[in-house]
């Protein structure tokens, strides 16, 4: 079955530690995204990548880093510089096409809940 997997489902971090959240997709999608979700805030874009070895900052990139070495994988590192990292993190992917095409439907993974102790 094609889809997006995120691991782990729950993650606990001590203050001052970096942690990496995994996101893998087998949908053959070019674009991948990371969102942060807080209660009552909706989804806020952290980083996105439209092609391997390239990625762009979203609205709240400070304190986060990403890499895109393979088409299938887009790991997110939450660094110690992120002041309030406790949140639900969602990874998504979509195809990329020509302008005007219906290419913005994003498919989401099940999420990782990060808690800072």
Looking at beta carbons only, is 46 or 78 nearer to other proteins?
A: 46
For residue 87, the Cα-to-chain-centroid distance in whole angstroms is 12
Q: Are 35 and 45 in contact (CB under 8 A)?
A: yes
Residues that bind other proteins (CB under 8 A): 4, 6, 33, 40-43, 45, 48, 56, 58, 88, 90, 92, 96-111, 113
Closest separation between CB of residue 16 and other proteins, Å? Answer: 27
Looking at beta carbons only, is 75 or 111 nearer to other proteins?
A: 111
Question: Helix, strand, or coil here: 66?
Answer: strand
> In terms of Cα–Cα distance, which of 89, 46, 88, 51 is closest to 68?
51
Looking at beta carbons only, is 63 or 111 nearer to other proteins?
A: 111
Closest separation between CB of residue 6 and other proteins, Å? Answer: 8
Strands 64-66 and 31-38: unpaired
Instruction: For 2, list phi and psi in degrees, rounded to 5.
Output: -80, 145
Closest separation between CB of residue 17 and other proteins, Å? Answer: 23
Looking at beta carbons only, is 22 or 80 nearer to other proteins?
A: 22
Q: Are 79 and 18 in contact (CB under 8 A)?
A: yes
Closest separation between CB of residue 107 and other proteins, Å? Answer: 8
């Amino acid at each position: 079955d094609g889809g997006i997997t995120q691991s782990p489902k729950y993650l606990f971090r001590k203050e001052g530690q970096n942690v990496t959240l995994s996101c893998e997709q087998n949908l053959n999608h070019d674009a991948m995204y990371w969102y942060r979700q807080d209660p009552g805030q909706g989804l806020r874009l952290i980083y996105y990548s439209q092609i391997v070895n390239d990625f762009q900052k979203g609205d709240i990139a400070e304190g986060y880093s990403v890499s895109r070495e393979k088409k299938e994988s887009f790991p997110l590192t939450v660094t110690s510089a992120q002041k309030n990292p406790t949140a639900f993190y969602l990874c998504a992917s979509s195809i990329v096409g020509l302008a005007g095409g219906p290419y913005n439907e994003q498919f989401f993974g099940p999420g990782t809940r990060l808690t800072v102790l």
